[in-house]
Amino acid sequence: MRRDIAFASGGLQLRGWCWAPPKPGAPAIVMSHGFSAVKEQGLAGFAEAFHAAGFAVLLFDYRHLGASDGDERGRIVWQEQHEDIRAALGWIAAQPGVDADRIGLWGTSYSGGHAMFVGAFDPRVKAIVAQAPAIDVARSLVALAGRAGFDQYLAMLAGDHAARNAGQQSGRIAVVTPPEQPSVLGSPDSYAWFTSFGEAAPNWVSTTTLESLARMAEYQPAAFVDLIAPKPFLMLAATGDALIPIEQARAAMARAGEPKKLVEIDCGHYDFYEGRPQFHRACEEATGWFVKHLT
């Protein structure tokens, strides 16, 4: 039932997979991956579960990532990715057999933050699931690198801005590395997870631009979490998350309005994905939420 598709966003062609409406007038779900990740990295199982529950599904790669166009490979700017989500919502809403008034938005990690942010503002989104979402990126970076390490990041980013302002290209930094080496996602489980896919995700780019890191550090995905209501909002949070402290998830959900649900699971950030210990639990929670609120 899966087919390759493409749609336009910002003058570029984004590519992804679509699972067709199981029946006329079906609800739909738009999905995307986290920071630098591509659709081949542990998401197809979620899409198949949603499709089996009666949903059309669109899973896509952001610009500059995966199979999508964009010459600056590995560029990750959250404002641009928000625009890609909006283009995806428009594409799925226009597909034959899709009920445009029943569209859900699912995101994980960085795109879980996008789901909260875009979901608060885009009226086409009727229900939201955010899995281990980015919430307060600057403070997550402080938690990973310490305040001294974060200050070093800021100095490096200021230098990169000066170089770009002088006409040079942005510098680059690894997304993940072995322990004790500088990277964006500096936790041991990040390196293990990203490097586990090998040839299964040949389009994954292992570096990003320093400009992307600068924009990431300024991002507050949960800034408008209180504006999501009255849209139904489910958050899945990992109590052992090395990237997103569980206290951030609890604080964000305390500010969110009803209907909402926080599911805390004793696991790490990457344990929700296909092939990992909590994949089936994450699938069941998300599927149940969308079925309850979109069907």
CA distance 27 to 293: 10
Asked which of 138-152, 157-171, 217-231, 245-259 is least confident by mean pLDDT, the reply is: 138-152
The percent of residues above 70 in pLDDT, for the chain, comes to 100
Quote the pLDDT of residue 126: 98
- In three-state secondary structure terms, 41 is coil
Angle at 83 between CA 292 and CA 126, to 5 degrees: 15
- What average pLDDT does range 283-295 have in this prediction? 98
What is the pTM (predicted TM-score) of this model? 0.97
Parallel, antiparallel, or unpaired for β 233-238 and 207-209?
unpaired
Quote the pLDDT of residue 7: 98
User: Exposed, middle or buried by CB within 10 Å (0-12, 13-18, 19+), for 201?
Assistant: middle
Domain range annotation of the chain? 2-136+221-294, 139-210
Amino acid at 261: K
Six token digits for residue 30:
């738009």
Residue for token pair 């409406």: 21
CA distance 153 to 147: 10
Quote the pLDDT of residue 182: 87
Quote the pLDDT of residue 120: 98
CATH architecture of 2-136+221-294: 3-Layer(aba) Sandwich (3.40)
Give the contacts of 17 (CB within 8 A, at least 6 positions apart).
2, 3, 4, 5, 39, 44, 47, 57, 58, 59, 60
Asked whether the CA dihedral 175, 177, 43, 283 is positive or negative, the reply is negative
Parallel, antiparallel, or unpaired for β 98-108 and 125-131?
parallel
- What average pLDDT does range 213-239 have in this prediction? 97
- What average pLDDT does range 56-80 have in this prediction? 98
**Whether pLDDT at 145 is above 90:** no
The percent of residues above 90 in pLDDT, for the chain, comes to 94
Give the contacts of 50 (CB within 8 A, at least 6 positions apart).
19, 29, 31, 57, 106, 286, 287, 290
- What average pLDDT does range 107-119 have in this prediction? 98
264-287, pLDDT tens digit by residue?
A: 999 999 999 999 999 999 999 999
Phi first, then psi: what are they for 293, rounded to 5°?
A: -105, -10
pLDDT tier at 69, thresholds 50, 70, 90: very high
Average pLDDT, the chain: 97
**Whether pLDDT at 289 is above 90:** yes
CA distance 200 to 198: 5
Longest dimension (CA), the chain: 56
Quote the pLDDT of residue 217: 95
- Reference 16, options 84, 76, 82; nearest CA is 84
